[in-house]
Amino acid sequence: MRSFLQKTALLLLFVLVQGAVHAQTTLGIFTDHQDIGTNVKPGSATYLPATQQYKVTGAGTNIWGDHDEFQFVYKKLTGDFILYARANFETPKGVEPHRKLGWMVRQSLAGNAPHISAAVHGDGLTSLQFRKTVGDATAETQATITGADVIQLERTGTTYTMRVARFGQPFTVQQVTDVALGDAVYVGLFVTSHNAGVVEKAVFRDVRIAIPAPASLTPYRDYLGSHIELLDVANGHREIVYTSPKSLQAPNWRPNGKSLVYNSDGLMYNFDLAARKPTVLPTGDVKNNNNDHVLSFDGTMLGLSSGVDKLGGSIVYTVPVTGGTPRQITPRGPSYLHSWSPDKQYLLFTGERNKDFDIYRVSATGGPEVRLTTAAGLDDGAEYTPDGRYIYFNSVRTGTMQIWRMRADGTDQQPVTHGDFHDWFPHVSPDGKWLVFVSFLKDEVSPNDHPFYKHVYLRLLPIAGGEPKVIAYLYGGQGTINTPSWSPDSKRVAFVSNSADAGK
């Protein structure tokens, strides 16, 4: 009898564990899904690992009034969070113009529960809608744009902020305060058809839940976990290829297209894209490396910036990309490396030499430093074009951090971007046609700072001219894209996003 009970208990445990594993596998980052409300036509939810997409079908009369009916794909969360996705209905024209999809935060799974939702309607209306108490009427604040397909909902205490955009454009923002749903809430994706007899289908991609840095975090001492992501610059589709609870920073894409190089905890790592596995890249006694490292154009050499307190801070070194004993290039710091010349003869670095940070050129074997910028204020992030004729860099000389261009000898310095954001770290595609850079929000950072853990954009600009386009919306900043990170075919970019629960 005892043996039978033991076996039964073990079998039950196995079923429960397998069920949990199955739910996790089939629903990606979510734990469950169900129809909310009574007598709702059955919906469904499927996760597609190959594309990291979610396909959700849902029915229901509406999410409005004093109760809701819809399909919900969810998990429970506590504390603050940032929810992000790109979303659209599978069919451009549905039965009802007010079918809805989006993100929802819900106090319970009851149909009349308090909630707040970032909702996009079938006719394009985009709104932040909420019910503050059980069975209360739903209220809303509408976005200034329609037809959003990029949806972000952030919680900070009892304040909820909706950021929405049509892909390629910056966010527009709506906010509601004093929505007290409790610390533990249900968070997820929803679809409702606005018609009890109809089922609507929606696709959600690039779905991310980021846990932001707490207010108690001490910058450059405390760190969040990291995702290494690959971004298709043509359509903005993102893929997480590696996650770690550590701070991973500044992925370089090797010219062979098979691996990345990044820094973490002062060490350099080679990340095999096929195996999805990192290995330490040996750099001898130089083990305090930061995120200002760069590969030579032919991929045979790696330039490092490594902190040496007795020499004044970061020092530039070079080392074979296979590893070895680094060669010291700059005699004193701070010196932050950013580029090799295409012929491997020169290095570009940002150095503090005259109580100001400027861009300098130095021989790749060391020697005299040539100052290329002289404007007051920080000049940083210099990078050669593939033909070696020009250097792109970022400068705060106008009061806003902007992208600039100069000739390789430092002459003819001209602005490239024009002040909407604080723009950092321009990287030129291998085919010389595109520029990608990271943009910080003016209301979050000062012009000469590029901190960790902020709302940032990656933006794309044609070298031939035009307006920048947002190609990624993320939580990151310092370490996201400090170094050249284009794939050799100029089709993708590697970058880092952050979350406190990454890899845990």
The torsion angles phi and psi of 168, rounded to 5 degrees, stand at: 105, -20
Q: pTM for this structure?
A: 0.93
* pLDDT at residue 23, rounded to an integer: 42
Long-range contacts of 475-478 (CB under 8 A, 24+ apart): 475/82, 475/210, 475/212, 475/499, 476/438, 476/452, 477/438, 477/440, 477/445, 477/450, 477/451, 477/452, 477/453, 478/249, 478/291, 478/450, 478/451, 478/452
CATH number of 32-210: 3.40.50.11140, 2.60.120.200, 2.102.10.10, 3.40.50.300? 2.60.120.200
The torsion angles phi and psi of 307, rounded to 5 degrees, stand at: -70, 125
Under DSSP, the state recorded for 465 is S
Mean pLDDT of 29-47: 97
Answer whether 345's CB lies under 8 Å from 329's CB. Answer: no
Task: For residue 7, give both structure tokens.
Answer: 């076996």
Mean pLDDT of 23-38: 86
**381 Cβ contact list (under 8 Å, min separation 6):** 338, 350, 392, 393, 394, 424, 425, 426, 482
Closest CA to 408 of 357, 353, 339: 339
- Does the pLDDT of residue 12 top 50, yes or no? no
Q: What is the pLDDT of residues 300-330, one digit of tens each?
A: 999 999 999 999 999 999 999 999 999 999 9
- Does the pLDDT of residue 19 top 60, yes or no? no
Mean pLDDT of 489-497: 98
Q: Is the dihedral of CA 399, 402, 407, 409 positive or negative?
A: positive
- Does the pLDDT of residue 447 top 80, yes or no? yes
Mean pLDDT of 392-421: 97
Q: Is the dihedral of CA 413, 414, 417, 421 positive or negative?
A: positive
CATH number of 225-499: 3.30.465.10, 3.30.70.420, 2.120.10.30, 3.40.50.300? 2.120.10.30
Q: Is 245 helix (H, G, I), strand (E, B) or coil?
A: coil
Mean pLDDT of 455-482: 97
Alpha carbon distances (Å) from 481 to 17, 250, 262, 446:
39, 5, 10, 19
Percent of the chain with pLDDT over 70: 95
- Does the pLDDT of residue 348 top 50, yes or no? yes
Mean pLDDT of 446-453: 97
Give the containing element (helix H, strand E) for 260: strand 259-264
* pLDDT at residue 93, rounded to an integer: 86
Whole-number Å distance between alpha carbons of 26 and 129: 29
- Does the pLDDT of residue 87 top 90, yes or no? yes
Alpha carbon distances (Å) from 336 to 158, 330, 381, 405, 406:
41, 10, 9, 19, 19
Task: For residue 105, give both structure tokens.
Answer: 């935060």
Whole-number Å distance between alpha carbons of 192 and 35: 10
* pLDDT at residue 232, rounded to an integer: 98
Q: What is the pLDDT of residues 254-312, one digit of tens each?
A: 999 999 999 999 999 999 999 999 999 999 999 999 999 999 999 999 999 999 999 99
Answer whether 312's CB lies under 8 Å from 334's CB. Answer: yes
Task: For residue 195, give both structure tokens.
Answer: 């018609």
Q: What is the pLDDT of residues 213-227, one digit of tens each?
A: 999 999 999 999 999
Mean pLDDT of 346-374: 97
* pLDDT at residue 4, rounded to an integer: 42
Whole-number Å distance between alpha carbons of 294 and 136: 57
* pLDDT at residue 94, rounded to an integer: 85
Residue extent(s) of CATH 2.120.10.30 domains in the chain:
225-499
* pLDDT at residue 354, rounded to an integer: 87
Summary mean pLDDT of the chain: 94
Residue extent(s) of CATH 2.60.120.200 domains in the chain:
32-210
> How many C-beta atoms surround the C-beta of residue 134 within 10 A?
13
Q: Is 16 helix (H, G, I), strand (E, B) or coil?
A: helix
User: pLDDT band for position 15 (50/70/90)?
Assistant: very low
